[in-house]
Structure 1
Amino acid sequence: MSTYFITGIDTNAGKTFATGLMAKYLLDKKVNVMTQKFAQTGCVGVSEDILAHRDIMGVPPYNVDKDGTTCPYVFTYPASPHLAAKIDGQEIDMNVINASTKKLQDQFETLLIEGVGGIHVPITLEYSLLDYLEETKHPLILITSSKLGSINHTLMTLELAAKRKLPIQGLIYNHYPNNSDVILKDSIEVFRTYLNKYGYNCPIVEIPEFKIGESPYVDFSPLFQI
C-alpha cells in the first residue's frame, strides 16, 4: 500500500486538478487507486474536490465518496479548516480522518490524499497540517505554479519540509497561468537548485496549460515509477 500527500504552495495552486490527473494516470495503468480529501471547506454534501477527482478520472462517485469516507469533514464556510469547523459548530477530530485513511488503505493499492491550502494550514488552533505530516511521514507531492510569488512560496515550503524532515516524492509544476515563458523556465531551474540544496533528489513533473473541461495527458511515471 502506497500513500502520498498532495499539498500546494498555497490555495489555488492546482492541487485538485493535479490529484485528479495523477489518479487518472494510475487508473489507466490498472492501479487500484483512490483519492481522499483531508477536509473540504466552502461546500455542502459530498466534497466538491472529490467530485472533481472523479470527473477527471472519468468515473462516477464511489460508495466511499457517498458515505463520507473519502472526506469525513465538509464545512460550509470557505476558510481555514479550524475556522470553518468553528463556524459550523464542529471540531476536527484527527482520529476520524486517520480512521478514514486506514479504511481506504485497506481497500486500495495506492491512496492520494489532497490537502487543504498550504503546508502550514491550522487544523485546530494548536495543531497544523505540518504537525500531521510530521507524524505520518506520508511522502509529499508538492504543487507549485508559474504565477508571481510562487518562487518565494515554494522555497519556503521546501525549507520548512526539510527542517521537519518530511519526505518529498516530487514537485509538480503547474504552467497555469503561464504569463511568461522566461519566468516559467527560470522558475524550474530555481526549484531544481533548491530541491538539491535541501537534500531532495526527486523529479519535477510539468502540467501544461489547459482549457476548462480538458484533461491533458501527463506522464507521471517519474513520481510513481510505472
Structure 2
Amino acid sequence: MKGKVLFISGIDTNVGKTYATGILARQLAAEGHTVITQKMIQTGCTDISEDIEMHRQLMGIPFTEEDKAGLTCPYIFTYPCSPHMAAERDGRRIDLSVITRATQELQKHYEYVLLEGAGGLMVPNDFHSLAIDYIREQNYPLILVTSGKLGSINHTLLSLYACRQQGIQVDSVIYNLYPHTDQLIEDNTLEYLRQYLRHEWPDTHLRLLPEKSSYPPHSEMAIPTE
C-alpha cells in the first residue's frame, strides 16, 4: 500500500493549519480510512512536537508508535522561528531527504498522510529551498488554510498565484472561522473567495473549518465542503 500525501500549508503563520490538519484526519478516520498526520519541521519545542500532540488530541487517539519513533516529526528545533533560522541556532542542518523517507515509511502503513508545513508557502527550509519548492518537487496536492481576518484575500490570492506558477495542484482551500474578528469582513472575504475559486479554480474545494469552541473532545467533527 502506498498512501496519499496531502500537504497542509497556510496563507501565514497562526492561521489554523494545526487544527485543520487534526480535524481533517479525524474526519477521514471516521469515514473508515487509515490516516496519520506528520509535521514537516517543528520549531519552538524540545522533546515532542506540540502540533503532533494537538493532532492526536483532536483525533481522539494517544501518541502512535510512529510518533515515538520520530517519523511523524523528523525535525524539532527549540527556537520559535522560521526553520532555517531555528536549525542554525541549534547548530543543525535540515536534510529534506530525511523528511521524505519518513513520509514514505508512513505511506506504507496508512491510506492518508497529512503533512503539515511550517508557516506559509514561502517559508525557507534553508538558504536554498522554500516550502513551495519541496511541495512541487514531491508533487503533493495542497490544502491551503486561510481565514477571514483583514488581508486574507491578498494573502490567499498570492498563495494561489504562486501555486499556479509552480504547477501545484490545490486540492482545497479551508476557511478557518476562528478566531472572530470583524463579521462584515469575514462574510465578505468568504463570499469573495467562494466566487474566485468558482471561476479561477473550479476543481478546488472550499471547506469551512468550524469554530475552535465547537470542537467537542469525543464526537465526530467534519469540515463541510461547499
Question: TM-score scaled by structure 2?
Answer: 0.92
Give the structure 1 partner of residue 196 of structure 2: 194
> What SS does the corresponding residue of 1:112 show, helix, strand or coil?
strand
- Return 5+ residue gaps in structure 2 as ranges: none
Number of equivalenced pairs: 223
Percent pairwise identity: 43
> What SS does the corresponding residue of 1:166 show, helix, strand or coil?
coil
Q: Aligned-residue CA RMSD in angstroms?
A: 1.8
How does 1:68-79 map onto structure 2 within 5 Å? 68-79=70-81
Is the CA contact (8 Å cut-off) linking 2:43 and 2:82 kept in structure 1?
yes
Give the structure 1 partner of residue 222 of structure 2: 219
Counterpart of 1:104 (choices 106, 110, 122) is 106
Give the structure 2 partner of residue 174 of structure 1: 176
Structure 1 88/106 Cα, relative in aligned 2: closer, same or farther at 3 Å? same
Distance, in Å, in 2 between the alignment partners of 1:190 and 1:45 is: 42
Q: Aligned pair 1:50/2:48, yes or no?
A: no
Is the CA contact (8 Å cut-off) linking 2:26 and 2:220 kept in structure 1?
no
- Return 5+ residue gaps in structure 1 as ranges: none
Most deviating of 51-60 and 178-187: 178-187
> What SS does the corresponding residue of 1:96 show, helix, strand or coil?
helix
Q: Deviations over 1:71-95 (max 9, x none)?
A: 0100001110011000000010011
Q: CA deviation at 1:190?
A: 1.7
Distance, in Å, in 2 between the alignment partners of 1:188 and 1:196 is: 12
Give the structure 2 partner of residue 119 of structure 1: 121
Distance, in Å, in 1 between the alignment partners of 2:84 and 2:149 is: 27
Q: Deviations over 1:153-188 (max 9, x none)?
A: 111101111111110010100011222332222112
Is the CA contact (8 Å cut-off) linking 1:147 and 1:176 kept in structure 2?
no
Most deviating of 214-223 and 172-181: 214-223
Is the CA contact (8 Å cut-off) linking 2:23 and 2:222 kept in structure 1?
no
Give the structure 2 partner of residue 152 of structure 1: 154
Most deviating of 179-188 and 100-109: 179-188
Distance, in Å, in 2 between the alignment partners of 1:94 and 1:56 is: 27
Q: Deviations over 1:25-58 (max 9, x none)?
A: 1111221100000000000112110011001111
Q: Aligned pair 1:29/2:49, yes or no?
A: no
Q: Aligned pair 1:165/2:167, yes or no?
A: yes
Q: CA deviation at 1:213?
A: 6.8
Give the structure 2 partner of residue 2 of structure 1: 4
Is the CA contact (8 Å cut-off) linking 2:149 and 2:182 kept in structure 1?
no
Question: TM-score scaled by structure 1?
Answer: 0.92
Give the structure 1 partner of residue 211 of structure 2: 209
Is the CA contact (8 Å cut-off) linking 1:207 and 1:218 kept in structure 2?
no
Give the structure 1 partner of residue 95 of structure 2: 93
Structure 1 134/198 Cα, relative in aligned 2: closer, same or farther at 3 Å? farther
